Amino acid sequence: MNKIVMRKVIGVAMLTALASSGATADQVFTGDTRLACEAILCLSSSQRPNECNPSLSRYFSITHIKWSNTVKARRSFLNTCPTAKDVSANMPQLVEGIVNGAGRCDADYLNRTQQIQMKRKVCKGWNNNFMSNMSSACVTETYYGIKNSLPDYCVAYLDNSYTDAGIAPKYVGTMEQNGRWVPGKDFVTEQARWEQAHPEEREVYPWLKPSSY
């Protein structure tokens, strides 16, 4: 089932809950209840029109000093939507994905928080004796790169059957050569730009390779 259909299912599920409650739309979808339902829809899609602004502002305004308390409060907010606890539609998994991943899985956030320490050998030049041990001419250098795999909480959020694939960022380049996360829509352009800035290294001693004839 594609993601557009999935979002329609969410909407239908909300209407089903509304009908089963015997209430009218005006009675149910007001205040935080309405904003919570809208937040679930908006945070599941890469398309976020201006109509999403009130619900997203309300959602992201819920913060506490401890991240665990922020997650708990945001979960409580989203659970005010009538369908948030609908197990048959796997809505609890979507809510969990949102409260743990929304706002923490975009390219900017990942580039700031997924830096890891790495090491590489840097050789300054050749010794006079070509065949000598080169350890004296090389040093181990410590540097930082951006991890090219998503945290588990992002995988749970972005791979949920209800979330739009357009939300997911993509990794450009390699960790060893200034790789980074970019919005999915910018991947082709940014990957081409990275490749232009990092051409493949030419072989220093091609004559050492076996002859092809």
pLDDT tens track for 9-25: 455 445 444 444 444 44
Please report the sign of the dihedral spanned by the C-alpha atoms of residue 37, residue 40, residue 44, residue 49.
positive
Contacts of 94 (CB under 8 A, 6+ apart): 40, 44, 160, 162, 163
Backbone angles phi, psi at 148, to 5 degrees: -95, 10
DSSP tag of 88: G
Domain boundaries, the chain: 3-108+155-167
- Given the DSSP bridges, would you call strands 170-172 and 115-123 parallel, antiparallel or unpaired? unpaired
Residue that is written with structure tokens 């991890």 in the block:
147
Q: What is the pLDDT of residue 11?
A: 55
Q: What is the pLDDT of residue 155?
A: 95
Query: In whole angstroms, what is the distance from residue 152 CA to residue 208 CA?
Result: 44
DSSP tag of 109: H
pTM of the predicted structure, to 2 decimals = 0.73
Local structure of 172: helix, strand or coil: strand
| Size (the chain), residues | 213
pLDDT: which is higher, 174 or 13: 174
